[in-house]
Chains A and B, each alone.
Chain A
Amino acid sequence: MSSLDEKDNAVPADSNAQASLPNDTSKDKMDEKENETSGFIIFFFIIGLVASLIAGWVIFPKLLYSKKDQPINFNHLLHMAEVDDGCQSCHFLRTDGSFSGIPGLKQCIGCHDEIQGESKDEAIFVEEYVQKGREVPWLIYSRQQDCVFFSHAAHIKGDGMDCVTCHGHIGESEQTRVYEENRITGLSRDIWGKSISGFNANSWERMKMNDCAKCHKEAIGKASSVQTGKEGCFVCHK
């Protein structure tokens, strides 16, 4: 730093210093100025640091994700009270072992062929979708990209996992959350997790490949992949 400063001083074109001050007194003044400048340098460093931290931690996530509302505000809690079989009343495994996912109109009509209660959302649902025979374009928080094969049967039946481990307490929600879509990847924010740092406090907060691999490596302890020593790629990819 200092050699750089000296060089700087030696440059005659540095007009301020040379024009106003004689050469012998300039040294002290310069030192004073130096202190002042290095203070400012740290100041600028901090400004840069703080600004970029704010940009990275606060602004970037806001820019990265677009927000979309679900077409209908769905009350899970209300429905859970009505059904007998918990989550699986609506989100069940089909007899071929595939997972039904979000129920289609066909299932909802079972109860909602006419308006049941006084909820505004139900009214919208019945009028806009049931009566017009249109499927509701739900936004799926947990949708993975196309190369991923996820077997609900393997996790639920094979390993006895519960829904909460991956989906959290969505079954107790009274409101649908805002769906945040990554503008670059088009994936739901839930895949990376709410926390932009990628840190997750709960198992359901993040569903990246490493999160899957955690169990697939540790819990099961299979090492069928020759390349990685973990579980084979084709277990979760298609």
Chain B
Amino acid sequence: MSKELSHNKVRRYGMVIDLDKCTGCGACMVACMAENNVPFKEDESNKRDSITWMKVYKLTNGKPFPNTEICYLPRPCQHCEGHDGHSPCVSVCPATATDYNSETGIVSQIYTRCFGCRYCMAACPYHARYFNWWDPVWPDGMEKYLSPNVSPRMRGVVEKCSFCFHRYQLAKDKAYYEGRSEVREDEYQTACTQACPAGAITFGDLNNPLHAVHQMVKPDLKHAGRPKSPNAFRLLERLGTNPKVYYLSDREWVRRAGDNYMADTKNHLEPKEH
């Protein structure tokens, strides 16, 4: 494949999370924190200021004992494409600190560019963005485990899941070294995908029919990537954010919970166009 061709090729990296396999163990959360130099404080029980790029939510069907059911829902940044890359956060950022990359489909966040206005946090319907209210502090000696591939953040900036973009950068380096122009599916996997002991997370290029993610959800590109697979859904589909994280569940109440506004999942209502 020629270099030009590879440059022009549009990838849309995305994730499929099988909620029937997810056990809510939280390994993805810690894998993410360890991979991305996410800071921690003595008290992290105020979840509004607790930075968790990947956060596992607990959903219940609201029925009384013994008909109660629980489902866990891991929520990374959804890397919304919106229309033509105008994802909710990107369109409001006054500092060009967050951006949609149409080559990979990844919503980037450049910490040194961010000046902390938090418009993006207000705009994000998934609460996937976190603000550094404090400077990160690692106990003496613990800064030794920090990874050089992800820049530690400072007080006053917003941060979020990057789909472990640095892993893509490293995989590309290796590909360049070996004279390849393409990164293989298994070469670029996020830390949460790799760690998940239940194998509930799948990651890859949604545009590539050979990639597992594509085969699992069959995104309908004519309809803003809406999944064709019957058990697949996206969070708040109707907002038209066009996210690249898909969820699978064979339980209807779970699929319904994925969109608060969804009256009927069976008929697969047309997502509202903005």
- Within the complex, are A and B direct neighbours (CB within 8 Å)? yes
A residues lining the B interface (CB < 8 Å): 93-98, 145-147, 149, 151, 153-154, 157-158, 220, 222, 224-228, 232-235, 237-238
Q: Is the CB of B93 within 8 A of A226?
A: no
Q: Is the CB of B173 within 8 A of A96?
A: yes
**Which of chain B's residues have a CB closer than 8 A to the CB of A233?**
96, 99, 101, 108, 110, 113
In whole Å, how far is A151's beta carbon from the nearest beta carbon of chain B? 5
A64 vs B22: C-alpha distance in the bound complex, in angstroms? Answer: 56
Q: Is the CB of A147 within 8 A of B169?
A: no
**Which of chain A's residues have a CB closer than 8 A to the CB of B175?**
97
Q: Is the CB of B111 within 8 A of A225?
A: no
Q: Is the CB of B172 within 8 A of A227?
A: no
In whole Å, how far is A207's beta carbon from the nearest beta carbon of chain B? 16
- The answer to whether A151 and B172 touch (CB under 8 A), given A146-B151, A226-B90, A233-B108, is yes
Interface residues of B in 164-214 (CB under 8 A from A): 165-166, 169-170, 172-179
**Which of chain B's residues have a CB closer than 8 A to the CB of A96?**
170, 173-174, 177
Residue of A97, A146, A154, A226 with highest tally of chain B CB at under 10 A: A226
In whole Å, how far is B274's beta carbon from the nearest beta carbon of chain A? 16
Q: Is the CB of A226 within 8 A of B173?
A: no
**Which of chain A's residues have a CB closer than 8 A to the CB of B101?**
224-226, 232-235
Which of B86, B103, B150, B176 sits near A97, CB closer than 8 Å? B176
A96 vs B98: C-alpha distance in the bound complex, in angstroms? Answer: 29
Q: Is the CB of B99 within 8 A of A98?
A: no
Interface residues on B, range: 35 or more
In whole Å, how far is A179's beta carbon from the nearest beta carbon of chain B? 22
A93 vs B103: C-alpha distance in the bound complex, in angstroms? Answer: 26
Q: A147-B111, A235-B101 are in contact. List 16 more A-B contacts (CB 8 A).
A: A97-B174, A97-B175, A97-B177, A149-B149, A149-B166, A153-B176, A226-B86, A226-B102, A227-B90, A227-B99, A232-B103, A232-B106, A234-B99, A234-B110, A234-B165, A237-B110
Q: Is the interface of A mostly helix, strand, loop or mixed?
A: loop
- The answer to whether A220 and B179 touch (CB under 8 A), given A154-B173, A237-B108, is no
Which of A95, A146, A224, A227 sits near B177, CB closer than 8 Å? A95
Q: Is the CB of A157 within 8 A of B177?
A: yes
Which of B150, B151, B177 sits near A93, CB closer than 8 Å? B177
Q: Is the CB of B173 within 8 A of A97?
A: yes
Task: State whether the Cβ of B112 lies closer than 8 Å to any Cβ in chain A.
Answer: yes
A222 vs B99: C-alpha distance in the bound complex, in angstroms? Answer: 15
**Which of chain B's residues have a CB closer than 8 A to the CB of A220?**
7
Q: Nearest CB to that of A151 among chain B residues?
A: B173
Q: Is the CB of A158 within 8 A of B3?
A: yes
**Which of chain B's residues have a CB closer than 8 A to the CB of A157?**
176-177, 179
A154 vs B176: C-alpha distance in the bound complex, in angstroms? Answer: 6
A237 vs B175: C-alpha distance in the bound complex, in angstroms? Answer: 19
Q: Nearest CB to that of B163 among chain A residues?
A: A234
Task: State whether the Cβ of B162 lies closer than 8 Å to any Cβ in chain A.
Answer: yes
**Which of chain B's residues have a CB closer than 8 A to the CB of A228?**
96, 99
